Amino acid sequence: MQSRYFVINDRPQGMPERGLFELHTIELPSLKDGEVRVRNTWLSVDPYMRGRMNGIKTYVEPFELNAPLEGGAIGEVIESRNSRFPEGSKVLHNAGWRDVAQLTGEALDPLPKLEVPEQAYLGVLGMPGMTAWTGLNLIAEMREGDNVLVSAASGAVGSLVVQLAKAKGGTVVGIAGSQEKLDWLESHGIKAISYRDKNAEQLSADLKQACPEGFDVYFENVGDICLEAALTNLRLGARIAICGLIARYNDETPGHGPSNLDMVLIQRAHIQGFIVLDHWSQYPRFLEEVGPQVANGEIDYEETIEDGLERMPDAFLKLFEGSNRGKMLVRL
Amino acid sequence: MQSRYFVINDRPQGMPERGLFELHTIELPSLKDGEVRVRNTWLSVDPYMRGRMNGIKTYVEPFELNAPLEGGAIGEVIESRNSRFPEGSKVLHNAGWRDVAQLTGEALDPLPKLEVPEQAYLGVLGMPGMTAWTGLNLIAEMREGDNVLVSAASGAVGSLVVQLAKAKGGTVVGIAGSQEKLDWLESHGIKAISYRDKNAEQLSADLKQACPEGFDVYFENVGDICLEAALTNLRLGARIAICGLIARYNDETPGHGPSNLDMVLIQRAHIQGFIVLDHWSQYPRFLEEVGPQVANGEIDYEETIEDGLERMPDAFLKLFEGSNRGKMLVRL
């Protein structure tokens, strides 16, 4: 049996070109004891993958050149020499960017059995959802009634942050780009502010109008003017969870940081960067809390879906154009 | 009896001019019940006073124009209608920038009775010392063996931070300017790095050489290239205590922040701004711990002294020229 998989053939500078990605085919070796063969049904593309394309170790190893790329994936076991995962098992694993994966049982998790579409475990109930819940609760330590600001508020992570915050918050404000995204936020009771065509000062003034008393929590996905505007609107003792800084992931030369870091001093603010993998032991707690809310429709989530393995690079690149709403996925 | 005191006659833009400060004289009213008259012997000038000269409330009220300026002071009661503070009492209070202060007992603290020169309570055993101890222990939560980086490392705050850190640390590195300051640091076993004529990249390379494994704690007094270079040299889980950002206190337009805030994410760093007044309930604990070490000479401290009330503005302005070593004081 063959497996088709994507590689990158170079370390990208700036925004990756489509030509960076090559689709390769290999003949899979026969299964060893303990191994399974998985036909992937859903593949995830996530902003953090951009960091792995650089040749530098950060919090994960960089992708190897010309080796299969990795990423979250869901699939079905089609051949098994592992009794834990018989043929027909639905599994979650990290051998994405390919149609068929051959793996040992240690690399697999069984798909949880909530009444949700299976791809939810790559989004609202997977890594992005867990990231939202972790950042808001464990890092920013959101308290009942806190005013919460979220950047990239309609994205895979942000869209869950705003809903979790709204359920126990004071004023919840989301920053997003397109009118469609702003409408989605408003329809969920979130005050929506566009960052488009604004400088930090203008964005800051709009945030002040949306929440004059300022924010206790800022959930940061973007950086750049969003961070600067947020710093100006902190309340005393504010907590900032830095989840991502997507504005700069493709910059060739690093841009400047916010000019108002003195607000951290004035408001005795906490800033903490976090990586969700460090907190993965809490995943069962997250699933127990958020899973039923997703299953019964209390929590809404959006997906942007591309069809076919060939579309993986395009889906990935769209993450940086701000064109997806909610979780970006590829369906095989 | 007359009191001579300094006022500011305008809100300064950028570095204050000497002409901003005016020396006024008033005839003091006769003492009311509960009041005392204090002849000040030592006056403090501190970087945070620059912030109070702007018309904007930050963590303290701004100075009023044409009203007596305020600041730490030590003096002796020369006339008393308060039984807690009889004539001859040595007191600590905040009615500085003047020769004679008339105050109620609530505004006074008795001077602690350690075997140290009285002006130590404005420096190593006063607000700056308490700031050093608080930032290192309560904010950055320094642990035994941590590698510690300190900016403005020979200043009133920094010079205590490096010594406290050295006593329980791994590698302790101090950033300072002049050769004299670097020598003082080296003589106390601190690796001293100059920031002079360097950009962030060069400073960062020097820090890496001084402590290749990176820093667990960064005690920030300066901002600017010091912060950027520090961020590049963080270890996993590093804690940054932001005590001050003196590099920018006189900027008319805010400068840019560090270009490498992604290091906060990559290293899961904490950044926390703090104001020592919030932690003042811990002052007795600080005094109990650090006081004896100062009294017995285990902890060294430096003073830069100007003589005469008239020199107050000059002493204050020198803080921003980087010309003082240790605590800057005016002796009356």
Helices (H), chain B: 48-53, 127-133, 158-168, 179-187, 200-210, 224-232, 262-266, 283-295, 312-318
d(CA A50, CA A304): 19
C-alpha radius of gyration, chain B, whole number? 20
- B244 contact residues in A (CB cutoff 8 A): 265
Reported ipTM: the value is 0.88
Answer whether B268 touches A (CB < 8 Å): yes
Sign of the torsion angle spanned by Cα atoms B179, B184, B189, B192: negative
Q: B32 and B49 in contact (C-beta within 8 Å)?
A: no
Is the model's pLDDT at A249 over the cut of 80? no
By C-alpha distance, the chain B residue nearest A277 is: B268
Mean pLDDT of B202-230: 96
3-state secondary structure of B99: coil
Q: Which of A259, A266, A270 sits opposite B257 (nearest CB)?
A: A259
Q: Residue A96 has what pLDDT?
A: 98
Q: B280 and chain A: CB distance < 8 Å anywhere?
A: no
How many other β-carbons are positioned within 10 Å of the β-carbon of residue A60?
14
Fold entry, domain A127-277: Rossmann fold (3.40.50)
Q: Is A13 near chain B, with CB under 8 Å?
A: no
Q: Would you state the pLDDT for residue B252?
A: 72
Q: What are the residue ranges of helices labelled H in B233-325? A: 262-266, 283-295, 312-318
- Provide, as residue numbers in chain A, all residues whose Cβ is less than 8 Å from the Cβ of B268: 59, 272-275, 278
Q: What is the mean pLDDT of residues B278-296?
A: 96
* Cα B307 to chain centroid, rounded: 20
Residue B83 Cα, gap to closest chain A Cα (Å): 38
Q: How far is CA B67 from CA A108, B7, B47, B53, in A?
A: 72, 6, 19, 12
* Residue ranges of chain B that CATH labels 3.90.180.10: 2-123+301-331
Tell me if chain A has a CB within 8 Å of the CB of B57. Answer: no
CB pairs A-B closer than 8 Å: 97
Q: How much is the pLDDT for A99? A: 98
Contact A91, A32 (CB under 8 A): no
pLDDT above 80 for A252: no
Q: Each residue of B30-44: pLDDT tens digit? A: 999 999 999 999 999
Contact yes or no for A163/A138 (Cβ under 8 A): no
H helix or E strand, kind and range, residue A187 = helix A179-187
How far apart are the C-alpha atoms of A55 and B42, rounded to whole Å?
A: 58
- Please tell me which of the candidates B59, B266, B271 has its beta carbon nearest to residue A266: B59
At residue B249, the pLDDT reads: 75
Whole-angstrom distance between the N-terminal and C-terminal Cα of chain B?
Answer: 17
For residue A218, which of A279, A131, A147, A160 has the smallest C-alpha distance?
A147
A10 has pLDDT over 80: yes
Nearest to B265 among A245, A265, A266 (CB): A245
Q: What are phi and psi of A292, to 5 degrees?
A: -60, -35
Neighboring chain B residues of A239 at a CB cutoff of 8 Å:
none
| pLDDT class of A322 with cuts at 50, 70, 90 | confident
Hey, is the C-beta of A266 within 8 angstroms of any chain B C-beta? yes
Per DSSP (E only), the strands in chain A are: 2-8, 21-27, 35-44, 73-80, 90-93, 100-104, 108-110, 148-150, 172-176, 191-194, 215-220, 234-242, 270-273, 303-307, 327-331
* B2-123+301-331 CATH, one of 3.60.15.10, 3.90.1490.10, 2.60.120.10, 3.90.180.10: 3.90.180.10
* Contacting residues of A for B258, CB less than 8 Å apart: 256-257, 261
| pLDDT surpasses 80 at B323 | no
Q: Over 90: is that where the pLDDT of A134 sits?
A: yes
H-helix or E-strand containing A165?
A: helix A158-168
pLDDT over 70, % of chain B: 99
Interface test with A, best of B245, B270, B271, B275 (most A CBs within 10 A): B271
Amino acid at B97: W
Nearest to B175 by CA among B206, B142, B201, B143: B206
> Of A245, A259, A273, which is closest to B268 when you measure between CB atoms?
A273
Average the pLDDT over each of A55-59, A303-307, B308-312 and give the range with the smallest value. Answer: A55-59
Give the list of residues 6+ apart from residue B323 with CB closer than 8 angstroms, or none. B304
Give per-residue burial for A128-141: e unless 16+ CB within 10 Å, then b: bbbbbbbbbbbbbe
Residues A92 and A114: their CA atoms lie apart, in Å, by 14
Query: Between these two residues, B14 and B55, which has the higher pLDDT value?
Result: B14
Using a 10 angstrom Cβ sphere, with 0-12 exposed, 13-18 middle and 19 or more buried, the burial of residue A153 is buried
Q: What is the mean pLDDT of residues B177-183?
A: 93
d(Cα A48, Cα A45) in Å, to the nearest integer?
9
Neighbours of B33 (CB within 10 A): 7
Q: What is the pLDDT of residue B257?
A: 87
More confident residue, B126 or B247: B126
How confident is the model at residue B95, as a pLDDT? 97
Split at pLDDT 50, 70, 90, the class of A248 is: confident
Task: Read off the pLDDT of residues A283-302 as tens digits, 9 standing for 90 and up.
Answer: 999 999 999 999 999 999 99
Nearest to B272 among A257, A266, A270 (CB): A270
Inspect the interface and report whether the beta carbons of A268 and B274 lie closer than 8 Å. yes
pLDDT band at B324 (very low <50, low <70, confident <90, very high): confident
Which band of pLDDT confidence, cut at 50, 70 and 90, is reported for residue B248? confident
Optimal mutation site among A56, A251, A264, interface B, most CBs of chain B within 10 A:
A264
Residue owning tokens 């004529």: B197
Tell me: pLDDT of B304 over 80: yes
Gap between the Cα atoms of A281 and A327, Å rounded = 23
pLDDT (average), residues B267-280 = 95
- B/e letters for A241-250, b = 16+ CB within 10 Å, e = fewer, are bbbbbbbbbe
Pick from B223, B255, B259: which is nearest to A254 by CB? B259
pLDDT band, residue A60 (cuts 50/70/90): confident
> What are B107-145's pLDDT values in tens digits?
999 999 999 999 999 999 999 999 999 999 999 999 999
C-alpha span between A326 and A181 (Å, rounded): 9
Q: Which residues contact A319 (CB under 8 A, 6 or more apart)?
A: A45, A46, A47, A246, A328
> Are the CB atoms for B37 and B31 separated by under 8 Å?
yes
Contact check, Cβ <8 Å, A259/B259: no
The average pLDDT across A185-207 equals 96
Is A54's Cβ below 8 Å from some Cβ in B? Answer: no
In chain B, ranges of CATH 3.40.50.720 domains: 127-277
- Domain spanning A2-122+301-331, CATH architecture: Alpha-Beta Complex (3.90)
CA B165 to chain centre: 17
Determine the average pLDDT of the residues in A200-205.
96
* Mean per-residue pLDDT of chain A: 94
Average pLDDT, integer, range B35-56 = 94
CA A152, A154, A155, A161 torsion-angle sign = positive
Interface with B, mutate which of A59, A139, A262, A274 (most B CBs under 10 A): A262
Query: Is B215's pLDDT higher than 90?
Result: yes
For A173, residues 6+ apart whose C-beta sits below 8 A from its C-beta are A147, A148, A149, A150, A190, A191, A192, A193, A207, A210, A211, A215
Higher local confidence (pLDDT), B184 or B247: B184
What is the band of A109 on the pLDDT scale with cuts at 50, 70, 90?
very high
DSSP assignment of A208-230 equals HHH-TT-EEEEEESS-HHHHHHH
Provide the CA B2 distance to its chain's centre, in angstroms.
30
